[in-house]
């Protein structure tokens, strides 16, 4: 979940460069930050502090330096303190390391190192890394070999980046957490066609936005691999046996503008608004491929969907899509719960993994479980080249463009659209599905107008001081009620819970007091009468009822009109809730882009 960024090359402002680039990775963690620069005397100078990197003036790192690494932290081991912030150093201060993930056997390794005379300044697992490399350097002159030997002793999932006072190289390694190399060409990110290109330096980061201003040519590090670069050359090798691993250069298509806030105050609002176009991009899939996948689901002996958080709610909604649209049964499980389902897996089973980032540790774990049983894996991801994208047997991309706010919005509607498209393809009605989804996308375009947004902002003003909020839905609106709760919780910190409308009378209705805000999500279909009855039950107990529905009803104290989108109702109903969550956060003085305790990409189990 932490952000890593390093540079080595001919640029002389490496310190400033890594701090500026790291600001684009702040979504990965924002407890504390740190930077290590090698100065002209060859010493490693470290600066670190608690707080957000976005508040740091990078000009303070403008001293001449061609090799630097930096880190933004999401604390796992040890509290949020300056001492625990990365980079961490070896005893002799010759080695600096930044790290993402968890070294599971760090206590054992720390005890061994203590017995050899090492002392530690922090409570982190990370600090053992530079100390272990230092220890390994006693028996090898070569920095990269020492890093390799240290890595072989680690258990767990990690990505690390290291530098040494006497080595011109940056050395990075990954097992489970992402790392990407950016190839810095002298002619910048947009080369002349056919021009011969010369490398000016290499970037190593947890995610592409860190270096997107300099290059869009990338090379992906796979699990169990190391990379060593001196800024002129780069070598990828296997951690275990040191054998060279050839790598392709891949051009990424995302633009710098897509990854920036533009005129919006927050990424969350920008990304909500982008749903005007992103759903249409998700629907624009290769039809042959969708038909092949639909066939694979039909022929599979059991299709399982796994994902986490919001992506999981898209999968849950798709259980209804496959049932109602295609008459086919699929099973959803939260990725973190999937392990015990392995009893049902066979080589003919299919696992569908849905993930915005393509790096979520629990989802990757579920993939491993399925693969160990010989089952095939279909990925539905947003980030091209992410681990899930590369490791799946087939991969579909939702093409939402970079999603930077921690709260997932446009990725959700893209995931819902792709899953619904496959359900329509299974029903032999791919064209109908495509038409419906494109119509839905244009309805969303109409919805996202200033008057509609202002109406929701006013509602947020009215309920912003409430302590509890409940959301109900039925059919695909039930997972959307759960998703609504996640959105409200994570950005506004209001206690919010989603329920299946029919479950209210089996317990949760006891929570309702005079004025408790309750949102009912509904469409215009065979379950509307039921969910309206549930809303009336809530109103009768004093709830302040908010109907998200195509038609007004006297059961609603407040009505948020949504278009009638038929089978695609889930996609339109979630939009006003995303906007409401955003305004609840802002009006309660919270930063919706960086909610407390969370990070965008959850690469730890
Ligand atoms: O990158 P992923 O889609 O795999 O991430 C899954 C969840 O961590 C993510 O959806 C999370 O729940 C969001 N913060 C919700 O807005």
Taking only the tens place, the pLDDT of each residue in 247-262 is 999 888 777 777 777 8
With CA atoms as reference, report the closest residue to 504 among 468, 531, 544.
531
How would you classify the pairing of strands 199-205 and 250-251? unpaired
Nearest CA to ligand 1 atom 4: 355
Question: What distance in angstroms lies between residue 146's CA and the mean position of ligand 1's atoms?
Answer: 36
Residue from 403, 408, 415 whose mutation best tests the ligand 1 pocket (most atoms within 8 A of CB)? 408
Please tell me the residue having the least CA distance from ligand 1 atom 11. Answer: 309
Instruction: Please check whether residue 96 is in contact with residue 37, taking contact to mean a CB–CB distance below 8 angstroms.
Output: no
Among the listed residues 132, 29, 57, the one whose alpha carbon sits nearest the alpha carbon of residue 88: 132
Whether residue 526 sits in one domain with residue 501: yes
Where does 83-213 have alpha helices with state H?
A: 106-115, 128-136, 143-153
More confident residue, 462 or 342: 462
pLDDT at 597: 79
596: pLDDT confidence band, cut at 50, 70 and 90? confident
Among protein residues, the one with the nearest Cα to ligand 1's atom 12 is: 309
β-partners of residue 170 are 163, 229
Token readout for 347 is 């080589």
Q: Strand, coil or helix: what is 585? A: helix
Looking from the CA of 592 toward its CB, the CA atoms found within 13 Å total 28
pLDDT of residue 27: 79
Q: What is the pLDDT of residue 501?
A: 96
- pLDDT of 187 > 90? The answer is no
47 and 85 together in one domain:
yes
- Which among 30, 310, 487 is the best mutation to test ligand 1's pocket, defined by most ligand atoms within 8 Å of the CB? 310
Q: Which of 2, 308, 315, 518 is catalytic?
A: 2
Tell me if 350 sits within 8 A of 378, measured CB to CB: yes
Residues with CB under 6 A from ligand 1: 308-311, 355-357, 360, 363, 406-408, 486, 490, 601-602
CA of 4 to the centre of ligand 1 (A): 20
Ligand 1 pocket: which of 282, 306, 309, 334 to mutate (most atoms <8 Å of CB)?
309
Same domain? For 320 and 233 the reply is: no
* Of the residues 258, 277, 298, the one at which a domain ends: 258
Does the pLDDT of residue 498 top 90, yes or no?
A: yes
Q: Which ligand 1 atom is the nearest neighbour of the CA of 406? A: 14
Q: Which atom of ligand 1 is nearest to the CA of 601?
A: 1
Task: Say yes or no: 433 and 558 in one domain.
Answer: no
Asked if residue 319 and residue 248 are part of one domain, the reply reads: no
Two structure tokens written together for 439: 């119509």
Ligand 1 center–CA 184 separation, angstroms: 31
Please give the torsion angle defined by the CA atoms of residues 541, 545, 551 and 553, in that order, rounded to the nearest 10 degrees: 40
Catalytic residue at 48? no
The pLDDT tens digits for 308-317 are 999 999 999 9
Peptide bond preceding 329 in cis form (omega within 30 of 0): no
How confident is the model at residue 193, as a pLDDT? 65
Beta bridge partners of 44: 38
Are residues 196 and 267 part of one domain? no
Tell me which of 258, 287, 303 is where a domain ends.
Answer: 258
Residue with tokens 């609840």: 584
**Ligand 1 centroid to residue 402 C-alpha, Å:** 14
Contact between 166 and 42 (Cβ < 8 Å): yes
What is the distance, to the nearest Å, from the Cα of residue 554 to the centroid of all Cα atoms in its chain?
A: 40
Nearest to 198 by CA among 58, 9, 18: 9
| Bridge-based pairing state of the strands 95-103 and 156-164 | antiparallel
Q: Could you tell me the CA-to-CA distances from 164 to 62, 146, 167, 230, 395 in Å, in that order?
A: 20, 11, 5, 12, 39
Domain span at residue 130 reads 3-258
Sheet bearing 199-205, strands edge to edge: 44-50, 32-38, 67-73, 3-9, 199-205, 180-185, 217-220, 250-251
Distance 131 CA to ligand 1 centre (A): 34
Q: Summarize the confidence of residues 560-572 as an average pLDDT.
A: 97
Atom 14 of ligand 1, nearest CA residue: 407
Same-domain pairing of 221 and 270? no
Give the Cα separation of 605 and 588 in Å (integer): 31
| 490 and 426 within one domain | no
Same domain, 487 and 604: yes
Residue 182 sits in the same domain as residue 60: yes
Q: What total number of domains does the chain contain?
A: 3
Q: Which of 229, 258, 287 is the last residue of a domain?
A: 258
Give the global pTM. 0.81
Report the distance separating Cα 20 and Cα 42, nearest Å.
22
CATH code, domain with 85: 3.60.20.10
Cα 307 to averaged position of ligand 1 atoms, centre (Å): 8
- Of 314, 602, 604, 605, best ligand 1 pocket probe by most atoms within 8 Å of the beta carbon: 602
Determine the Cα–Cα distance for residues 68 and 62; give it in Å rounded to an integer.
12
Q: Is 471 helix (H, G, I), strand (E, B) or coil?
A: strand
Is residue 2 annotated as a catalytic residue, yes or no? yes
Residue range 494-520: mean pLDDT, rounded: 95
Indicate if the pLDDT at residue 203 is higher than 90.
Answer: yes
Quote the ligand 1 centre to 592 CA distance (angstroms).
15
Q: Are 273 and 448 in contact (CB under 8 A)?
A: yes
Helix axes 569-587, 450-463, angle to 10 degrees: 60
Residue with the nearest Cα to atom 6 of ligand 1? 308
Closest by Cα among 338, 278, 275, 341 to 308: 338
CA angle, 219 as apex, 216 and 225 as ends, to 5°? Answer: 155
Largest CA distance in the chain: 79
Q: How far is CA 259 from CA 57, 163, 581, 585, 603, in A?
A: 21, 29, 22, 22, 21
Report the atom number in ligand 1 closest to the C-alpha of 356: 3
Are residues 90 and 190 both part of a single domain?
yes
Helix extents (H) in 344-408: 361-372, 387-391
First to last CA, the chain: 11
Question: Is residue 169 a contact partner of residue 141, using CB atoms and an 8 Å limit?
Answer: no
CA nearest ligand 1 atom 7, residue: 309
- CATH number of the domain encompassing residue 462: 3.40.50.10490
Find the 98 Cα to ligand 1 centroid distance in Å.
24
* Atom number of ligand 1 nearest to Cα 360: 4
Distances (CA, A) of 70 to 16, 266, 288, 375, 471: 10, 24, 44, 39, 42
Residue with the smallest CA separation from ligand 1 atom 9 is 309
Per the listing, tokens 């409940």 go with 470
Query: In whole numbers, what is the pLDDT of the chain averaged over residues?
Result: 93
Find the mean pLDDT for residues 526-537: 96
**pLDDT band at 157, cuts 50/70/90?**
confident
State in Å: Cα 408 to ligand 1 middle: 6
**Burial code of 219-246, b = ≥16 C-beta within 10 A, e = fewer?**
bbbebbbbbbbbbeebebbebeeeeeee
From 74, 177, 308, 380, mutation site for ligand 1 pocket: most ligand atoms within 8 A of C-beta: 308
Residue 190 pLDDT class (50, 70, 90 cuts)? low
Active-site residue, from 23, 247, 539, 600: 600
Eight-state DSSP code of residue 358: S
Same domain, 231 and 91: yes
């Amino acid at each position: 979940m932490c952000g890593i960024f390093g540079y080595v090359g001919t640029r002389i402002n490496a310190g400033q460069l890594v701090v500026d680039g790291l600001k684009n990775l702040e979504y990965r963690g924002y407890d504390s930050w740190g930077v290590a620069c090698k100065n002209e005397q060859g010493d490693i100078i470290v600066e670190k502090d608690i707080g957000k990197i976005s508040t740091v003036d990078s000009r303070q790192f403008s001293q001449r330096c061609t090799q630097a690494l930096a880190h933004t932290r999401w604390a796992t081991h040890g509290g949020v303190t300056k001492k625990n912030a990365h980079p961490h150093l070896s005893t002799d201060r010759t080695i600096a390391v930044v790290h993402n993930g968890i070294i599971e056997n760090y206590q054992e390794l720390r005890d061994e190192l203590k017995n050899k005379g090492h002392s530690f300044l922090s409570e982190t697992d990370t600090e053992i890394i530079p100390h272990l490399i230092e220890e390994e350097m006693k028996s090898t002159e070569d920095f990269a070999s020492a890093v390799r030997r240290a890595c072989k002793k680690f258990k767990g999932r990690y990505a690390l980046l290291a530098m040494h006072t006497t080595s011109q190289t940056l050395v990075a390694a990954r097992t489970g957490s992402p790392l990407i190399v950016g190839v810095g060409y002298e002619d910048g990110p947009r080369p002349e066609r056919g021009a011969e290109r010369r490398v000016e330096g290499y970037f190593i980061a947890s995610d592409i936005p860190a270096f997107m201003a300099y290059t869009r040519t990338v090379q992906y590090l796979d699990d169990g691999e190391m990379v060593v670069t001196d800024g002129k050359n780069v070598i990828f090798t296997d951690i275990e046996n040191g054998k060279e691993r050839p790598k392709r250069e891949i051009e990424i298509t995302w633009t710098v503008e897509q990854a920036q806030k533009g005129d919006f105050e927050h990424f969350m609002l920008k990304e909500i608004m982008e749903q005007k176009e992103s759903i249409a991009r998700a629907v624009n899939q290769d039809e042959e491929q969708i038909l092949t996948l639909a066939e694979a689901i039909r022929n599979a002996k059991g299709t399982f969907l796994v994902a986490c958080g919001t992506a999981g709610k898209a999968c849950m909604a798709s259980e209804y899509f496959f049932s109602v649209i295609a008459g086919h049964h699929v099973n959803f499980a939260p990725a973190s719960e999937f392990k015990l389902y392995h009893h049902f897996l066979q080589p003919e089973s299919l696992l569908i993994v849905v993930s915005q980032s393509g790096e979520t540790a629990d989802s990757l774990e579920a993939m491993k479980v399925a693969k160990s049983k010989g089952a095939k894996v279909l990925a539905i991801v947003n980030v091209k080249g992410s681990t899930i994208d590369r490791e799946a047997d087939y991969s579909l991309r939702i093409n939402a463009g970079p999603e930077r706010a921690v709260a997932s919005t446009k990725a959700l509607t893209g995931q819902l659209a792709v899953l619904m498209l496959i359900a329509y393809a299974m029903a032999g009605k791919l064209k109908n599905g495509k038409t419906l989804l494109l119509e839905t996308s244009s309805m969303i375009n109409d919805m996202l107008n200033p008057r509609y947004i202002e109406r929701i902002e006013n509602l947020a003003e009215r309920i912003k001081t409430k302590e509890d909020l409940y959301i109900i839905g039925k059919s695909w609106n039930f997972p959307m009620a759960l998703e609504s709760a996640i959105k409200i919780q994570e950005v506004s910190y209001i206690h919010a819970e989603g329920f299946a409308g029919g479950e209210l009378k089996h317990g949760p209705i006891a929570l309702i007091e005079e004025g408790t805000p309750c949102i009912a999500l509904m469409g215009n279909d065979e379950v509307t009468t039921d969910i309206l009855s549930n809303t009336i039950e809530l109103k009768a107990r004093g709830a302040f009822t908010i109907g998200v529905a195509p038609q007004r009803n006297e059961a609603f104290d407040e009505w948020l009109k949504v278009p009638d989108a038929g089978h695609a109702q889930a996609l339109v109903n979630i939009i006003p809730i995303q906007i409401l969550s955003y305004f609840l956060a802002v009006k309660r003085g919270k930063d919706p882009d960086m909610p407390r305790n969370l990070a965008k990409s959850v690469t730890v189990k």
